């Protein structure tokens, strides 16, 4: 059993932005494996199904990026799963657009969603698939992650989202190490995925009266 979480921000204004690639990968998995992700469960929208013969939950936290850990902690508790059964898909500022990276565990690397997960779960021991979105040269990082991809980036990010979905499937079927061996590429010395970088403050949480604990 695996809980697969795509990190992102809810709402139309954040759809297809760089910070929401985790949700985009989850959508690809849902389409491939005919899983409907539309059941409101606490702080998440979830769907249950199978990938390569293995039972999975697909989940999109609705708490906004900076409080993702609250939603995921409650799901793990409710479904009686451990952090080692968790797979997180998110964006990465320190990798070029079109590159993905699989890790079985690690730090947050300045990503506020991962930071929240680590803080709330009390562990770094969960697999993650990180999708490169590039780092801005002129725009502020906080604005950049909430912007959409340029036309020249569309082919690369589309291929990366498909590849990230492939990587999640490999983790489900054979584990993170097998996925690492198949999908990880060298991205240069400038990419230090688990070293702290200045934190990017993203969308501020908004009250969600309909969400239950």
- Asked whether residue 71 is assigned to any structural domain, the reply reads yes
| Phi (first) and psi of residue 65, to 5 degrees | -55, -45
- Asked whether residue 211 is assigned to any structural domain, the reply reads no
Cα–Cα distance measured from residue 45 to residue 131, given in angstroms and rounded to the nearest whole number: 22
What is the structure's pLDDT at 186? 58
> Residue 185: how many CB atoms within 10 A of its CB?
10
Count the domains in the chain.
Answer: 1
Domain range holding 176?
A: 2-183
- Asked whether residue 205 is assigned to any structural domain, the reply reads no
CATH number of domain containing 172: 3.40.50.1470
pTM metric for this prediction? 0.86
Per-residue confidence in pLDDT tens, the chain, 213 aa: 999 999 999 999 999 999 999 999 999 999 999 999 999 988 999 999 999 999 999 999 999 999 999 999 999 999 999 999 999 999 999 999 999 999 999 999 999 999 999 999 999 999 999 999 999 988 999 999 999 999 999 999 999 999 999 999 999 999 999 999 999 975 543 344 444 433 443 444 444 434 333
What is the structure's pLDDT at 153? 96
The strand ranges marked E within the chain are: 2-6, 39-41, 44-51, 54-61, 86-92, 100-103, 127-132
Q: Is 108 a catalytic residue?
A: no
56 and 48 Cβ atoms separated by less than 8 Å = yes
Report residue 210 as tokens.
């309909």
Q: 7, 56, 64, 53: which is closest to 30 by C-alpha?
A: 56
- Asked whether residue 208 is assigned to any structural domain, the reply reads no
What is the structure's pLDDT at 137? 87
What is the structure's pLDDT at 187? 52
- Catalytic pick among 19, 28, 101, 103: 19
Cα–Cα distance measured from residue 108 to residue 91, given in angstroms and rounded to the nearest whole number: 11
């Amino acid at each position: 059993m695996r809980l697969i979480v795509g990190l992102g921000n809810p709402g139309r204004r954040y759809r297809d932005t760089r910070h929401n690639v985790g949700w985009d990968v989850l959508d690809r998995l849902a389409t491939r494996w005919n899983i409907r992700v539309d059941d409101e469960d606490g702080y998440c929208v979830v769907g249950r199904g199978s990938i390569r013969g293995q039972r999975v939950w697909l989940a999109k936290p609705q708490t906004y990026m900076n409080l993702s850990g609250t939603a995921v902690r409650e799901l793990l508790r409710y479904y009686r799963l451990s952090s080692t059964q968790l797979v997180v898909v998110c964006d990465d500022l320190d990798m070029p657009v079109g590159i993905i990276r699989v890790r079985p565990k690690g730090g947050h690397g300045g990503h506020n969603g991962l930071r929240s997960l680590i803080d709330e779960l009390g562990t770094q021991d969960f697999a993650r698939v990180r999708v490169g979105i590039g780092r801005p040269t002129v725009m502020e990082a906080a604005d950049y992650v909430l912007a959409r991809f340029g036309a020249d980036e569309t082919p690369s990010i589309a291929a990366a989202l498909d590849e990230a979905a492939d990587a999640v499937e490999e983790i489900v079927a054979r584990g993170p190490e097998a996925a690492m061996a198949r999908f990880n590429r060298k991205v240069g010395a400038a990419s230090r995925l688990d070293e702290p970088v200045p934190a990017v403050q993203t969308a501020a949480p908004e009250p969600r009266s309909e969400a239950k604990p």
